[in-house]
A and B are shown apart, each in its own frame.
Chain A
């Protein structure tokens, strides 16, 4: 598997923006949209956790 080198500060900054936007969108009352936003939010959160974990080992 190919590995990528990233700047954790930059990457986390961008992921944090997405997280915040999704968090605000999650207030939408439509169940279908809510489900999609939750999927995007959870996936984004996984990326944040991965980057944080990687940053610990640097």
Chain B
């Protein structure tokens, strides 16, 4: 597992159960120089988020073992992460997903409609959330 880089590379956590999508996002974002860690279910994602230290978290809504909203609620109730996390961005497939409004009440910074975005657009959005000039 990659650790925080001395050169100040941004660390991104991708919590996504769809293996190919997770690997695809990981590959395109690593090509941009980001350090990527992944989780394939909500429980693993929660453990990683609770440790903290991520500059950005991409969190899928529908996940096995604990869905994205449950994860956010659990994180809110639990102790603060050991290291601060950056923005949390919800990943969904539908723009009218009820999870978006619920997610907003649980502290998400935004959402990405996966089915609307090309890999290039994903990179742009990620850089936007990290406030990196494109």
Contacts and interface: CB of A to CB of B under 8 A. Distances in A.
A21 B93 contact: no
**Interface residue tally of chain B, by bracket?**
10 to 19
B119 A23 contact: yes
A17 B93 contact: no
A35 B24 CA distance: 23
Q: Secondary structure of the B side of the interface? A: helix
A19 B93 contact: no
B78 interface: no
Interface residues of A, number: 16
Contacts of B93: 8-9, 12-13, 16
Given A12-B115, A23-B120, A17 B94 contact: no
B94 A55 contact: yes
Given A16-B21, A20-B24, A21-B24, A48 B96 contact: no
